[in-house]
Amino acid sequence: MTQRVIEITSPSFLTEPMLAAAEDISSFFHNDHPLCLEIGCGIGDFITQLAARHPERNYLAIDIYNKGCYKTCKKVDQAGLKNVRVMRAEARYLLANFMRKESLEAIYINCPDPWPKKRHRSRRLLSEAFLQMALLYLRPGGELNFATDFQDYAEDVATTIAAMDGYANGQDEPLSTARPDYPVSKYMRRFLEQGLPIYFVHYFKRHDCTITDQDVRLAQGFRLSWEQVENG
């Protein structure tokens, strides 16, 4: 059963028409600070910590779930953060339609759906095609940050990205279970308190990377219909 869509009236919330009418996303922050993107903000634990630590950066936090966006906006507003905007959006659609090339200082993706069954692996967000797309929108030297509690997903991403020419390693090994300076969300903390690891993949876009629209190939139909997505 489709759940009720919660109306979000927060000044931190952006809608697609607002983005379509704006010249650039930076206009919503009223400054020219570097822009970072969190894909899958959940209920806002991670982004509120990160944005509070780095007021010199702007953050766009997106999620496909209405309730998650509502809770994230509530946390952002309660914390008095002026450098965060929240949007209900599918990541690839947002990038392709509203983001300028080489405009992102960093991308953060924390604990996305791992699609653990082998027959569903193609549904994972961090495919080679998406990692290639991310290169198009990261500035030279920009960061790609991925964290997951699912070891197989982490190993798959680490292997794929290590074989790509456009990325340089951001840590001693392609895959790590320790990033002391990385904010820990409520979801991550649940695993850590049980003695279970969180796996981190951290890479930078190489300064000599050359990539064009023609290098990026995505399957058609990746934009989700909100009527088919749980609003929880």
Which tens digits make up the pLDDT trace of 78-112? 999 999 999 999 999 999 999 999 999 999 999 98
Q: How many domains does the chain have?
A: 1
State yes or no: pLDDT of 36 exceeds 80.
Answer: yes
Residue 3 lies in a domain: no
Which one, of 111, 133, 115, lies nearest residue 124 by Cα?
115
Helix segments in 79-217, DSSP class H: 91-98, 128-137, 151-162, 186-193
Portion of the chain with pLDDT greater than 90, in percent:
71
Tokens of 14: 């952006």
Which tens digits make up the pLDDT trace of 156-180? 999 999 999 999 986 667 789 989 8
Residue 2 lies in a domain: no
What is the residue whose two structure tokens read 């650039």? 24
Residues, the chain: 232
Question: Which H or E run contains 182?
Answer: none
Indicate which residues carry an active-site annotation.
113
Which tens digits make up the pLDDT trace of 128-158? 999 999 999 999 999 999 999 999 999 999 9
Residue 5 lies in a domain: no
Residue 7 lies in a domain: no
Dist CA 152 CA 109 (whole Å): 16
pLDDT at 173: 77
Q: At what angle do helices 66-78 and 45-53 cross, to 10 degrees?
A: 30
Write out the residue range of the structural domain in which residue 53 sits. 13-228
Dist CA 5 CA 150 (whole Å): 30
CATH code: domain of residue 69: 3.40.50.150
Residue 115 lies in a domain: yes
Average pLDDT, the chain: 89
State yes or no: pLDDT of 3 exceeds 80.
Answer: no
pLDDT at 117: 77
Residue 136 lies in a domain: yes
pTM of the model: 0.91
How many CB atoms lie under 10 A from the CB of residue 30?
9
Residue 197 lies in a domain: yes
pLDDT at 108: 98
Residue 117 lies in a domain: yes
Q: At what angle do helices 128-137 and 91-98 cross, to 10 degrees?
A: 30
